[in-house]
Amino acid sequence: MSDTNSQFPHLREWIGQSETVVDEITRAPVRAMNATLDYPEQEIPVGTPLPPLWHWLYFLPAHRQSDLGPDGHARRGGFLPPVPLQRRMWAGSQFEFHAPLQVGDSVRRVSTIDDVTVKEGRTGILVFVKVRHDIFREGYAESAITEFHDLVYRDVKRPGDVEPAPTAARTDAPWQRIVEPDDVLLFRYSALTFNGHRIHYDRDYATKEEGYPGLVVHGPLISTLLIDLVRRQAPDREIASFKFKAVRPTFDGKPFSLNGALSEDGRTVELWAADHEGWLTMQATATLI
């Protein structure tokens, strides 16, 4: 994969741009996510800690309907650079959890374009955008969460494009949970995160326009389910850091597995997701305290 930054030099002008969004950690999204992840109904008093990654239920984009593109994403430009490629994917993220957010908190997220890189891949030009998010609780000078968010842009799939060969997932997971990704689950998660990307709920668009075999399961949903596996298997431990990388798309209609293995010293958990054929779709690592 060669470096071709000279092809889109104007995109690197976005490095350093930032925006700030304020919000409140309210009860309703927590209650809805509990139901979506199949937890029983429970009281959610002020001061309830927000589980890791549930901050994605807040700071939601509120683009005007007229500002959305044909794929359901906001049109290019503004905070994110105007990448002239049609497909945008969330490739991975890295997190440091410094302090828990709590129901009732007033919060502020400062987002900064950390890097923009253009590369030549086997299927054409790829543009990688790294965004840093720092989330602060009102009254605290130090951030509660530091997140790096990796986006990759690529052109539409062309006839003859060859996808990378799949990787077989490990089959020795001490922890495992099977998930049935039906269209209701995908719709509920899209609604919770105000995600208009049509590949997650519009089957005709996903299959006929973008060439997928079905609806695409959200990468953030899979990563949330992976970190939730840690919460279920090690409920007395806290998660200090987490990182994940999307390896291969997961589609609705077939079950996929969430897998985890705790290290011998009990400090880290290797996590991975696999589709119904056993191919690796996401890999992740959580550090525990």
In eight-state DSSP terms, residue 64 is -
Which pLDDT score, from 0 to 100, does residue 59 have? 97
Query: pLDDT tens digit string along 184-193?
Result: 999 999 999 9
pLDDT above 90 covers a percentage of the chain that reads 78
Q: Give 84's pLDDT tier (boundaries 50, 70, 90).
A: confident
Q: Give 161's pLDDT tier (boundaries 50, 70, 90).
A: low
1-163 against 164-289: fold identical: yes
Q: Among the listed ranges 59-68, 177-186, 201-210, 222-231, which one has the minimum average pLDDT value?
A: 59-68
User: CA nearest 37: which of 190, 211, 185, 137?
Assistant: 185
Residue 136: phi and psi, rounded to 5, are -120, 140
Q: Give 158's pLDDT tier (boundaries 50, 70, 90).
A: low
Which pLDDT score, from 0 to 100, does residue 168 have? 96
Helix (H, G, I), strand (E, B) or coil at 226: helix
CATH entry 3.10.129.10 includes domain 1-163 = yes
Instruction: Report domain extents, the chain.
Output: 1-163, 164-289
Which pLDDT score, from 0 to 100, does residue 89 have? 85
pTM: 0.91
Which pLDDT score, from 0 to 100, does residue 212 have? 92
User: CA nearest 100: which of 246, 225, 240?
Assistant: 240
Span 38-51, mean pLDDT? 95
Q: What is the C-alpha to C-alpha distance for residues 241 and 263, in angstroms, rounded to an integer?
A: 15
CB atoms closer than 10 angstroms to residue 41: 8
Helix (H, G, I), strand (E, B) or coil at 67: helix
- Give me the numbers of helices (H) and strands (E) for the chain, helices first please: 4, 11
Q: What is the CA radius of gyration of the chain?
A: 19
Does residue 207 surpass a pLDDT of 80? Answer: yes
With contact defined as beta carbons under 8 Å apart, do 164 and 200 qualify? no
Does residue 148 surpass a pLDDT of 60? Answer: yes
Span 27-37, mean pLDDT? 97
Which pLDDT score, from 0 to 100, does residue 230 have? 98
Which pLDDT score, from 0 to 100, does residue 74 have? 77
**Widest CA span in the chain:** 55
In eight-state DSSP terms, residue 72 is S
pLDDT: which is higher, 282 or 78: 282
Q: Give 78's pLDDT tier (boundaries 50, 70, 90).
A: confident
Which pLDDT score, from 0 to 100, does residue 7 have? 66
CATH domain 164-289 topology: Thiol Ester Dehydrase; Chain A (3.10.129)
Which pLDDT score, from 0 to 100, does residue 97 have? 98
CB atoms closer than 10 angstroms to residue 187: 13
User: CA nearest 185: which of 210, 227, 222, 213?
Assistant: 222
Region of 253 on the Ramachandran plot (φ > 0 left; ψ -120 to 50 alpha; else beta): left
Which pLDDT score, from 0 to 100, does residue 92 have? 95
- What does the mean pLDDT of the chain come to? 92
Span 265-289, mean pLDDT? 97
